[in-house]
Chain A
Amino acid sequence: MSNPIDLPGTPVLQASVVRERRHAAARRQKFFYGALLAVALVAPLAVYPVFLMKLLCFALFACAFNLLLGYAGLLSFGHAAFFATGGYITGYMLSSYSGLSTELGILAGTLASTALGTLFGLLAIRRQGIYFAMITLALAQLVFFVFVQAPFTGGENGLQGVPRGHLFGLVDMQNNLAMYYFVLAVFVFGFAIIQRAIHSPYGQVLKAIRENEPRAVSLGYNVDAHKLLAFVISAALAGLAGATKTVVFQLASLTDAHWHMSGEVILMTLLGGVGTVLGPLVGAGVVVTLQSSLSNGPLGEWVHVILGVIFVLCVLLFRSGIVGWLERLVKRNFK
């Protein structure tokens, strides 16, 4: 960071004032995240833990997706592939090796989706924009067909009754409350990685690439390597989210791999606010709440139609998303 230039007449205090403001902003942010975490810690007292776990898994999925779309400007239409791979591999490991501790199962799923992400990333970043979206969609469909046919996935039925196992071989994850705090820890871990990436020099370069790729190239940045890393981190965390979801619901199914799932995570991010830190969290909250409240009501069969309508309205009228809109509101009225 460069200091403000000392022009004649410029108050000498300026640098320290700027620093003071930045510290104040950081303090506010710390306080805000602390409050959020406190709410998350006591939430299972008030809300059904399984619902909260579902929410956290999808929120992590959406945050991972947002790293790619919001900060690297890459629209992946195939993130379901990573979500499902994490889920299937974890499900397979926990089902076939009884006694395997929960975290090792999840680790296996995450590693598998990371490897897949590296492979897909290498292929997809060869094209840009709309082609990138189509390529990721086609590759994800390839994965979908593999899961339909592969011998270990249980075909149309998926993997059912996956044991949750014991965390570190000690804590029985069959207890929903224990499971919830583990999922919360997983989410905080993933969220922290994304935060770290966004606010590092690496994240700055990523944004520069999003804004003006030729410029970033001419400044000497290895654009492809930066994009690939973003893709791999995003795929890994999407896989982590899928793996955790499989443990929670003890189920990995073709729904996870279907392109509808890729569409859903796009919707969560778009609705919450592309390129905002908390947007995907809010978007996932709205979509998951909507889905579970609709599925019990008379509108259950219209879920896809309703999601489609929200999609269209978001694109037409609400491109900054809920969090983007709130940020603007705060800026306008409190600054």
Chain B
Amino acid sequence: MTLVFGVPLSVLLGQLLLGLINGAFYALLSLGLAIIFGLLRIINFAHGAQYMLGAFVAFLSLNYLGVNYWAALLLSPLLVGCLGMAIERGLLRRIANEDHLYGLLLTFGLALIVEGSFVKLFGVSGSSYPMPEALRGGFNLGFMFLPTYRGWVIVAALVVCLATWYVIERTRLGSYLRAGTENPRLMQGFGINVPLLVTLTYGYGVALAAFAGVLAAPIYAVTPGMGSNLLIVVFAVVVIGGMGSILGAIVTGVAMGLIEGLTKVYYPEAANTVVFLVMVLVLLVRPAGLFGKEA
């Protein structure tokens, strides 16, 4: 058996694969945070709760309405995205002119409400979502075994990330978004409906979180707390990458997942904390973040 620094190759690759999957979730979530931050200038603390909602909508619609995985993959982001737009219109808009820290506090309160209610309704332990039929089993790649679903998560997450990047960087709609990030008032002067753009942006960011939630449902347990612990790691990822670039958010997310996977192999005690340690390092060397623009 091949050994890499005293670890069998198959174990190393297996952990790297797990890391890649975590990285795919980090990328999806930090991408959503970055898009929302770009236009609204707030950090969406409810992002974790919205990810959890995405998973729960899939779980509940399967059990009570018989909606299958593929339909949930579309339906759940749509539903949670609409909820997000309602939150933006009804609540966030009211404090848009206040200090942006109030946006953080408001969404924090929302996260407490949503998670607290779900703990009360469904208990802390949660439930499992069955693997869709078509994605069971796996491939033998010769050097390791790749479960189909895990491969699918990586592909789906990366496709959605790159499509989002393409829309923002290469299309007209994306150019409005980027211009709105730079100077919303000038955009309004040009006759672009900025308030609508803000609502749609928040909705899309939230929908990304819900999409990640549905992807996560069959591999992680569906629990009320599944989002909040993940979100704090994603915050660290955002600090590491800086929120200046869309591609930066994706790359940093995947890279942090891989680093976490490597740590699990070589020094498992630090697996929970390695992303935070990388954040400390980045703050010391390059406070603006790896891809950040402002100091």
Contacts and interface: CB of A to CB of B under 8 A. Distances in A.
Given A135-B283, A145-B273, A312-B113, A263 B94 contact: no
Interface in A309-324: 309-312, 314-316, 319
Contact of A133 (B104, B114, B277, B279): B104
A154 B102 CA distance: 37
Contact of A127 (B43, B112, B269, B287): B287
Contact of A319 (B98, B113, B273): B98
Contacts of A133: 43, 101, 104
A149 interface: yes
Given A302-B120, A316-B106, A138 B232 contact: yes
A75 B104 contact: yes
A132 to B, nearest CB: 9
B21 to A, nearest CB: 21
Interface in B94-147: 94-95, 98, 100-102, 104-106, 108-117, 119-120
Interface string A130-166: 1101110111011001101100000000000000000
Nearest to A308: B112
Contacts of A307: 109, 112, 116
B276 interface: yes
Interface in B4-51: 37, 41-43
Contact of A141 (B95, B232, B280, B287): B232
A311 B105 contact: yes
B272 A145 contact: yes
A266 interface: yes
A259 B45 CA distance: 12
Contacts of B113: 304-305, 308-309, 312
Nearest to A75: B101
Given A138-B239, A142-B276, A316-B95, A305 B43 contact: no
B116 A302 contact: yes
Contact of B112 (A139, A148, A149, A311): A311
Contacts of A137: 232, 235
Given A126-B287, A130-B100, A315-B106, A304 B119 contact: yes
B112 A304 contact: yes
B284 interface: yes
A302 B116 CA distance: 7
A305 to B, nearest CB: 4
B95 A129 contact: no
A312 B42 CA distance: 15
A311 B108 contact: yes
A301 B98 CA distance: 33
B236 interface: yes
Interface residues of A, dominant DSSP: helix
Contact of B109 (A142, A145, A309): A309
B109 A131 contact: no
A141 B111 CA distance: 17
B95 A127 contact: no
B156 interface: no
A139 B104 CA distance: 18
A316 B94 contact: yes
A301 B111 CA distance: 16
Given A138-B235, A308-B110, A308-B112, A123 B284 contact: yes
Interface residues of B, number: 43
Contacts of A308: 109-114, 116
A259 B112 contact: no
Contacts of A146: 273
B212 interface: no
A270 interface: yes
Nearest to A309: B113
Interface string B41-67: 111000000000000000000000000
Given A137-B235, A141-B276, A319-B98, A123 B108 contact: no
Max count, chain A CB within 10 A of own CB: residue among B109, B114, B120: B109
Contacts of A309: 109, 113
A129 B99 CA distance: 10
Nearest to A303: B116
B280 A259 contact: no
B209 to A, nearest CB: 16
Given A137-B232, A138-B235, A315 B102 contact: yes
Given A127-B239, A311-B109, A312-B109, A135 B119 contact: no
Nearest to A131: B239
A304 B239 contact: no
Nearest to B286: A126
Q: Indicate the member of A131, A135, A145, A301 with the most B CB atoms within 10 Å.
A: A131
A123 B94 contact: no
Contacts of A141: 232-233, 236, 276
Contacts of A148: 272
A212 to B, nearest CB: 14
20 contacts: A123-B280, A123-B283, A126-B283, A130-B37, A134-B235, A134-B238, A135-B239, A141-B233, A142-B277, A145-B272, A266-B105, A303-B116, A308-B112, A308-B113, A309-B109, A311-B106, A312-B109, A315-B102, A316-B95, A316-B106
Interface of B: 37, 41-43, 91, 94-95, 98, 100-102, 104-106, 108-117, 119-120, 228, 232-233, 235-236, 238-239, 269, 272-273, 276-277, 279-280, 283-284, 287
5 closest A-B pairs by beta carbon, nearest first, are: A311-B109, A308-B112, A304-B116, A308-B113, A305-B116
Given A75-B104, A127-B239, A133-B104, 7 more contacts: A130-B41, A134-B43, A145-B273, A304-B119, A305-B117, A315-B102, A316-B94
